Structure 1
Amino acid sequence: GFDAPMEMTAAKSPRPALRVLQAYLATNLEAALLPATAGAIDTLAGADERWSNPTAILDPSQSVGASEEASRLRVLVDDLLALLIAESPRLIASTSRDEWWRAHLHARTATGLLRYHAAMADASDARLARLLGLRDVMMADNVTAVLTREGQRGPTLMFGHNLHLQTGRSKWHLGDLSLEWWSVGSIIGAQLGDQYAVLSSALGAAPHQGLNAPAPDTLEGILSALPESRYLFKSRSLTAALSRTAPNLVLRTDAAPNNGYFPLDPHQLKEADGVIFVRDV
């Protein structure tokens, strides 16, 4: 998986990732080189529960992300990461590329979590959109690391939500809020150019999840009326056909009770190379 260790309601403490990183360095380097001990990390981070406090997502004042301890941890993880990179020839020789790569993963995780918690403490109107964007930044960092590590073996396939993988700007209407951010797909796509390709997915109905048949004037409704139950379309061909036969499609508005379903916006078909459609699940 390439997702960040967070959900809509909370983000995890950076302490476990910091401890793994510090332990790797402490085991393989002289103590004098390390900027902090494991005990110092525990003292600064405190209890994991205070980081994952669910009230902080709605109330910035409840977040620990702007505390003095959090600021010191951000400097500390930067120092640990610099040490990990500076000593990489010796560390890889004495351990392995796999162990060093995993330590770097924990460094990225701690860095991203501390950045995210700092944004949670921000009381500005841009707060929620920024949090969504920072989550995708962590995803993009993880994908970039996988590409660097596995690129010689061939292409990399990643599976995620349309809003994360599409190459355009992601949009989400949450109550009265209209949120926009750059997704992992847009970040990676901008860096890789035509080496990045995305297949969007669309779903007709999932009755067991409370998602019923789509309205006929939606993209999912048009595709559900086709004779087969499963299709793989080229986006250009599908867009051209819809512009002739159904130019006034609207975004699907029904949703599953668990809020886990997001419709495929017909105006964003051009941001994918293909579309996978399944009528019923």
Structure 2
Amino acid sequence: MFEYCDKMVADFENAICHPINNKSSIYYTGVDLGTACVVLAVVDENYKPVAGAYEYADVVRDGMVVDYIGAIHIVRKLKEQLEASIGSELIYASAAIPPGTNELDSGAIKNVVESAGFELTGLLDEPTAANSLLKIENGAVVDIGGGTTGITIMKDGKEIYVADEPTGGTHFSLVVSGAYKVPFEEAELLKRNPGKHKELLPVLKPVIEKVASIINKHIEGHLVETIYLAGGTCCLDGIEKIIEKQTKIPTYKPQNPMFVTPLGIALNCTSNEE
């Protein structure tokens, strides 16, 4: 089902550890300013992953940039790190925003990317970016990020509906923090530990059910036969089973949902030379 997506993500994971210096004539970068993590994905002239870097950060909340200077600093630092690893300058970048927030925050995202030294050539919504890898023709693409849940309904390969609501991984961490009586930062680390997922799933079930209710609300009236998940929060083992039970719709996710959206953003990057 996710052969292309899983292969691209696997290649990207390898490129993060072992950047590929293939002297491509041009490079394209996807900048994913997430609530919990900033990810830069680099692909070559053939749109194959060659390098990547990420940093957990608190510069975006609920899809909105709240630390403008901090965001620029992180993106610039990761850009320079990647340029050193592939021995080439990174000029062109695309970015993404939660669906329906274009008027609210597209200017801030644009300014962050450009202030970090990129030429911004594309700005799209996150589920659409994810679907560049998932390649879903029919169904709902649900991007559960750190701050928001974005939903895009696809019919015959075309978007017919997009929506976004402020519930995501940050809310999961707040629940873990309260249940275990630990600071938010420690709860974040617990949530990211795959070895803790089985233990955490019952604790997080109510907030996952809330996400499912958001999905149900937005797909109502549409013929949605399958739900496809992306976004870092979907790395939680078993999240798809709870969503499927609540929505009564078959729900699937690729092997590593965290890197689907940033890679999709990179695939939508172009250059002014084209």
TM category (shorter chain) comes to under 0.3
TM-score normalised by structure 1 residue count: 0.27
Q: Which has the higher strand share?
A: 2
Larger Rg: 1
Q: Which has the higher helix share?
A: 1
Q: Which fold has the larger relative contact order, with Cα–Cα distance below 8 Å and residues 6 or more apart in sequence?
A: 2
